[in-house]
Structure 1
Amino acid sequence: MTRDFSTPPVIAPGVLGGSPQPLVPAAGGLLLRPWEDADAPAFLSAYQDEETRRWHTRRPSSEARVLEWFDAYRQDWTAERGGHWAITRDGAEVLGRIALRGLDFDDGIACVGYWVLPAARGAGVATRGLGALTAWALDEAGFHRLELDHSTRNHASCGVATRAGYLLEGTRRSAALHDDGRHDMHLHARTRDA
């Protein structure tokens, strides 16, 4: 594909997809690792939780569907469309999910999303996972800017973003459709230099 830009891409194509998806250690014995087929029951259980369902309208319906998602996640990495990690305790017990999506290598921008299983909430799992992924994405992968958005009604996610150093940049009015109607969305971001 020919690029019609006057500037080189921030990240060269092939840098991520040409290597295995990394393991990313986080504080407190957490490890971000690629999803494994054995994680399907834990992943599916997250979407049985009312709070997770409140904020995530795309939901797998069965373990077979979760395995299809995991296969798509592996393809996303190879095609450099995204990266999806399980947030685990020492690589074993699944505590949550974190992802980079919408990878834009030309401008060096990606979007972050996450959830945490009910039993792991309130212990800083999302904040530590987000901090580790942010450091990896900005310092090692070479992204310049990471964005995340969440419903203005999702105060827990806003707290995670703020604690991880993502500045609130504004509100996107009526930007997402949830089960209970349209929601305004907060936009947070971190950049390499701030």
Structure 2
Amino acid sequence: MRSPLSTPPAIPAGALAADPQPVLTATGGLVLRPWVPSDAAVFFAAYQDPAIRHWHTRQPASEAQVRDWFEDYRQGWEHEKGASWAVTCGNEVLGRIAIGSLNLDDGVAGCGYWVLPAARGAGVAPRALTAVSTWALDKAGFHRLHLSHSTRNDASCRAAVKAGFRLEGTKRSEAIHSDGRHDMHLHARIRGDE
């Protein structure tokens, strides 16, 4: 049994799951929506891209496993553990953005994202990250969002900074990518950041 908090939780248990996972909009016509089973093929194909495979070591083995992941995402929302969105424009999936490691007591969550090769360089990641962080910090009640990326992943660093995530430091040898251990940059955005 958990000990009671000496302060009220930043986000009361049940507050997020009381409503369906939101559909969010971002500049440039982007729509962030929950994944649906018909997205499995494009999601699986994304993990055939060498860059996505390099930076994301957890990879699906089949479209059937992707559909299982989508169900995990749905349950993650219901149990207030995380949320994952397809980043779309029109009917086309351009990428993925997610929040996870939710700590509702402290109002803290982590963010992650990837963009399909054909959509890179068009500002998809920073626009999607801005939309998710604006929703999370303003409407959902989070106080701090953070993300980490390899110090060698310049594109992810640019996306984080453009979305208002300030660089806070370097975590030495924190993560494993396809070529071994990497130092990771830590970025964060807190409620009230300009």
Deviations along 1:40-94, whole A, 9 cap, x unmatched?
Answer: 011011100001111000000110010010000001000000000000003x210
**C-alpha distance in 1 between matches for 2:162 and 2:2:** 40
Q: Aligned partners of 2:99 and 2:3: how far apart in 1?
A: 23
TM-fit CA distance, 1:18: 1.8
Name the residue aligned to 1:35: 35
**Is 1:162 equivalent to 2:161 in the alignment?**
yes
TM-score (ref. length: structure 1): 0.97
Question: Residues 190, 34 of structure 1: CA spacing in aligned structure 2 closer, same or farther, 3 A cutoff?
Answer: same
When normalised by structure 2's length, the TM-score is 0.97
The aligned counterpart of 1:179 is 178
Q: Deviations over 1:83-107 (max 9, x none)?
A: 00000003x2100000000000010
1:21-100 counterparts in 2 under 5 A? 21-90=21-90, 92-100=91-99
Residue 147 (structure 2) aligns with: 148
Distance 1:94 1:115 in 2: 11
State whether structure 2 residue 11 is matched by structure 1 residue 17. no
Query: Following TM superposition, by how much is the alpha carbon of 1:2 offset from its aligned partner in structure 2, in angstroms?
Result: 4.6
Q: CA-atom RMSD, angstroms?
A: 0.9
Q: In 1, Cα distance between the equivalents of 2:137 and 2:155?
A: 24
Unpaired stretches in structure 2, ≥5 consecutive residues: none
Q: Which residue of the partner structure matches residue 188 of structure 2?
A: 189
Deviation track 1:11-59 (CA, whole Å, cap 9, x = no partner) reads 0110111210000011010000000000001101110000111100000
Structure 1: 5+ residue stretches without partners: none
Match of 2:100? 101
The share of aligned pairs that are identical, in percent, is 61
Give me the whole-angstrom Cα distance separating, in 1, the residues matched to 2:18 and 2:78. Answer: 7
* Aligned length in residues: 193
In the alignment, structure 1 residue 127 sits paired with structure 2 residue 131: no
Counterpart-to-counterpart distance in 2, 1:188 and 1:63 = 32
